Chains A and B, each alone.
Chain A
Amino acid sequence: MSTLEIKDLHVSIDTEQGNVPILKGVTLTINTGETHAIMGPNGSGKSTLASTIAGHPRYTVDSGSITLDGEDVLSMSVDERARAGLFLAMQYPVEVPGVTMTNFLRTAKTALDGEAPSLRHWTKDVKTAMAQLRIDADFAQRNVNEGFSGGEKKRVEILQLELFRPKFAILDETDSGLDVDALKVVSEGVNREHSKGEMGTLLITHYTRILRYIKPDFVHVFVAGRIAEQGGPELADQLEAEGYDRFTAQTPVEA
């Protein structure tokens, strides 16, 4: 049982117009086995939270803390965070020239586990996971994300989720740009891994439709860099019916 704890997190980015605060005091605790959905309108800071947890250099943490089982995540480098058990399924996975998927997956697995996976089992695991996510076998020999469609990239993110088996998965708008079939396939992958009971999930989404396939235990509504409201799954239903207007009206959007 692990706990990812975010306390009063303030995050800003440097832009040409100067320093811009994005997160203005976010507090959130996720335990193994729980699924938390973070919802909110564009620009509310949802993706900033995801990238900050993973350690993207663009974001500056001005105050607050992130801990994983009491360990200070913010003092860890990006790769250390991954090895500590944090996984970010990215909204826009980049194409990495020169590295085949096969080589990449094996190198990452070796780095995460501290030892090379047994070749026989690993090959089988990769093949099985690829088949379940309906990823063509020939993708293994292609360069990481190179020439993949948006939907293919998202499936490959979930492939990594299933193979790397993190303690906490942060899914940054994994559902955006997916058609219904791909959304189902991707959701099944997340549910497969989650059902093993060893992972906590932070699901960041703009839309409610993915919540038909991945059932959240908690729903948090992000507005203007803060959690404006939280509740159970019923909050998602309410949002689906009413939209974000209620929240954006309450809290004036800052420039």
Chain B
Amino acid sequence: MAETTHTESTPDTAPDAEVTDLGDLDEKARLGAPAGAVDRSRAIDGFTEEGESLSTGDTGSEQLGLKKHSHGNAPVIPEASRGERRRSFDIADFPTLTGLEEDWRFTPLKRLRGLHTEALSASAPAVEVTGAGNVTVETVGRDDVRLGASATPEDRVSAAAWNAFGDATVITVPQETVADGEVMVSVRGTHAEASAQHILIDAKAFSKAVVVLDHQGSATLAQNVEIVVGDGAELTVVSVQEWDDDAVHVSSQQAKVGRDARYKHVVVSLGGDLVRLTPSSIFTAPGAEVEMYGLYFADAGQHLEQRLLVDHAVPNCKSRVTYKGALQGDDAHTVWVGDVLIRKAAEGTDTYETNRNLILTDGARSDSVPNLEIETGLIEGAGHASATGRFDDEHLFYLMARGIPEKAARRLVVRGFLTEVIQQIKVPALEERLSESVERELAAGNL
């Protein structure tokens, strides 16, 4: 069984009449398949595309002036606007998780290995920073005033990590400095006790750098990565999750993006039992551009989740989001939730987000939920697309009928699908390593 769900929130602050100048009206017009299971017979033709599908069957929050979202069958606590989500350093501000919360409803809490309930007091994975010589790397105590200055936790695990981490790693790219090489941040876990970690990446004004967070080993880690992209700076942050099979990793990666800055964030999640990343990009001044890319490949039993936020709070910024996932094996589960918020002040915004998933075998499940909230009509464009397709017998037959052997045919499809994201990393050695990792995933899946 392959299933997708797809919902869109349309709060009353964005009545339909204001959503007239979306860039993707054509697409939306031909979308509209109901949320829920994808019929195999339809999937045969390739991608089934789904668009806005507001559930009408549920009862609930209509009286609040909200159109009811489709949430599967679970009752979910409604949220009037993504912009109103609670932010706090105080864990008491976030109630104990039940799994019914909007932002946790897809996460199997039982598999968090205590990240949401325990003290996170074990030693955090070792951090080692190598690469660029003209970048400052410090290990600082909790009391360093720079920590938490640019990012505030948005969920309970993030708040718990904030309150529990020991030392923090601070990487600073000095003003007007071009890093003389990639900054490789190796994060190596050696045990499965729950721990917390804080990393601050501060790209000062007009600096330029690529920072790679390379997560490996075994860990149960709640992590906050705080990112500052200064005015006119150009920063790429790549977060690679090649954990051992047992690892549990929950990471909030919040970026504040300054005037005319360029920020690129790339997620590559391949290893680990449960990986949940919440990358966000918050525009703080006009003229900036953000690109967010993601690649995930879930095997049997793996849960790989990514929840994004792009917060257009100021005018004339541009954002592009492209996440692609492949799934194979029983109970492989991926979740992609892309929240884009265009606030009242964010006139001239140009945004588009895309999520594509490729289901390679029976028994996998992919959830894809693009949410677009628009509070002003005076924008350049706003759109989203979500498509989940199956690689099925008909595709295989087509390629084999052209002489391509079965295994080569499957690899051709997956490689082609995922390469687009790997190519965005622009660190040749890492691109090569990740391409090989994808090949290994394919081989392991008997494809």
Give A contacts to B, CB under 8 Å: 54-57, 77-79, 81-83, 87-88, 90, 93-100, 103-104, 107-108, 111-112, 143-146, 160, 164
Contact B401 A94 (CB under 8 A): no
Contact partners of B404 in chain A: CB under 8 A: 79, 107-108, 111
Most chain A CB atoms below 10 A, which of B46, B417, B418: B46
Is B399 an interface residue, CB under 8 A from the partner? Answer: yes
What is the CB-to-nearest-CB distance from B63 to chain A, in angstroms, rounded to a whole number? Answer: 42
Contact A96 B401 (CB under 8 A): no
Closest to B46 in A: A95
Contact partners of A98 in chain B: CB under 8 A: 358, 413-418
The CA-CA distance from A78 to B401 in the complex, in Å, is: 6
Contact B402 A97 (CB under 8 A): no
Q: Contacts A95-B45, A97-B47, A146-B46 hold; do A79 and B412 have CB atoms under 8 A apart?
A: no
Is B1 an interface residue, CB under 8 A from the partner? Answer: no
What is the CB-to-nearest-CB distance from A108 to chain B, in angstroms, rounded to a whole number? Answer: 4
Contact partners of A97 in chain B: CB under 8 A: 46-47, 356, 358, 389, 391, 395, 413, 417
What is the CB-to-nearest-CB distance from B4 to chain A, in angstroms, rounded to a whole number? Answer: 14
Q: Which of A88, A95, A99 makes the CB contact (< 8 A) with B401? A: A88
Contact partners of A77 in chain B: CB under 8 A: 400, 406
Contact partners of B405 in chain A: CB under 8 A: 79, 111
Most chain B CB atoms below 10 A, which of A54, A78, A95: A78
Closest to A81 in B: B401
What is the CB-to-nearest-CB distance from A73 to chain B, in angstroms, rounded to a whole number? Answer: 13
Q: Which of B44, B389, B394, B416 makes the CB contact (< 8 A) with A99? A: B416
Contact B397 A56 (CB under 8 A): yes
The CA-CA distance from A82 to B389 in the complex, in Å, is: 26
Question: What's the dominant secondary structure at chain A's contact region?
Answer: mixed
Q: Contacts A57-B397, A103-B412, A104-B412 hold; do A96 and B46 have CB atoms under 8 A apart?
A: yes
The CA-CA distance from A111 to B356 in the complex, in Å, is: 29
Contact A103 B400 (CB under 8 A): no
What is the CB-to-nearest-CB distance from A51 to chain B, in angstroms, rounded to a whole number? Answer: 9
Is B62 an interface residue, CB under 8 A from the partner? Answer: no
The CA-CA distance from A171 to B141 in the complex, in Å, is: 73
The CA-CA distance from A146 to B46 in the complex, in Å, is: 8
Give B contacts to A, CB under 8 Å: 44-47, 356, 358, 389, 391, 393-395, 397-406, 408-409, 412-418
Closest to B406 in A: A79
Contact A94 B45 (CB under 8 A): yes
Closest to B402 in A: A108
Closest to A98 in B: B417
Q: Contacts A98-B414, A99-B413 hold; do A54 and B47 have CB atoms under 8 A apart?
A: no
Contact partners of A93 in chain B: CB under 8 A: 398
Closest to A144 in B: B398
Most chain A CB atoms below 10 A, which of B45, B397, B402: B402
The CA-CA distance from A112 to B400 in the complex, in Å, is: 10
Closest to A79 in B: B400
What is the CB-to-nearest-CB distance from B183 to chain A, in angstroms, rounded to a whole number? Answer: 32
Contact partners of A88 in chain B: CB under 8 A: 401
Nearest 7 interchain pairs by C-beta: A98-B417, A95-B46, A82-B403, A108-B402, A78-B400, A112-B403, A111-B403
Contact partners of B414 in chain A: CB under 8 A: 98
Query: What are 6 inter-chain pairs, A to B, with CB distance below 8 A?
Result: A78-B400, A82-B401, A90-B398, A97-B389, A111-B408, A146-B47
Contact partners of B46 in chain A: CB under 8 A: 94-97, 145-146
Known A56-B397, A108-B399, A112-B402; 10 more pairs at CB < 8 Å: A57-B393, A79-B401, A90-B398, A93-B398, A94-B44, A97-B46, A97-B356, A97-B395, A99-B417, A107-B408
The CA-CA distance from A97 to B398 in the complex, in Å, is: 12
Contact A54 B413 (CB under 8 A): no
Contact partners of A56 in chain B: CB under 8 A: 397
Contact partners of A111 in chain B: CB under 8 A: 402-405, 408
Contact partners of B406 in chain A: CB under 8 A: 77, 79
Closest to B398 in A: A94
The CA-CA distance from A77 to B399 in the complex, in Å, is: 12
What is the CB-to-nearest-CB distance from B232 to chain A, in angstroms, rounded to a whole number? Answer: 34
What is the CB-to-nearest-CB distance from A202 to chain B, in angstroms, rounded to a whole number? Answer: 15
What is the CB-to-nearest-CB distance from A66 to chain B, in angstroms, rounded to a whole number? Answer: 15
Contact B399 A96 (CB under 8 A): yes
Most chain A CB atoms below 10 A, which of B44, B403, B416: B403
Contact B417 A78 (CB under 8 A): no
What is the CB-to-nearest-CB distance from A14 to chain B, in angstroms, rounded to a whole number? Answer: 14
Contact partners of A78 in chain B: CB under 8 A: 397, 400-401
The CA-CA distance from A145 to B44 in the complex, in Å, is: 14
